[in-house]
Amino acid sequence: QHCRLHEIGRDVLATVRGHGRNPYDAEDDEAFLPPRIAPILAMELAGVGELEGLLEMAGFASIISTICSYPFDLGKTRLDKMAMGTMFVRDQLLDESNQSSCLNENHRFTEEAFWMHIGKYATIESNNVMMLQDNRFKLAIATK
């Protein structure tokens, strides 16, 4: 239904493509240009009745579904947190690195962008684990 990792990825990718500049704080003409990244992707089968319809077509007769909220544990180490938080845009970030003349600089932009934006979406628990709340998924139980 909704996964906050898509939002984090969008923000990080926009900042990396702006070479470290936060696109939301821009004070130049570039801020008025169309966005340079795609909108947040809808999750597969997230539409109303899509999952249930697929299960019916597969021959399931009894289908019960509900929407659940689920937190994600992004890990304890800085590297784990960044890797988990950017997993949906990893290929695009690697493409940006391959096009860059300086891979280290692009990695620095990625790390800075991640830490710039992650506070809007995640919290650090007392045991240093980063938790991402407000992820919603559909749980379906089906029998034949």
What are 12-23's pLDDT values in tens digits? 888 887 765 655
Q: Edge-to-edge strand order for the sheet containing 122-124?
A: 62-73, 130-143, 122-124
What are 88-144's pLDDT values in tens digits? 888 888 877 666 555 566 777 888 889 999 999 999 998 999 999 888 888 888 998
Length of the chain: 144
Helix axes 103-117, 4-17, angle to 10 degrees: 140
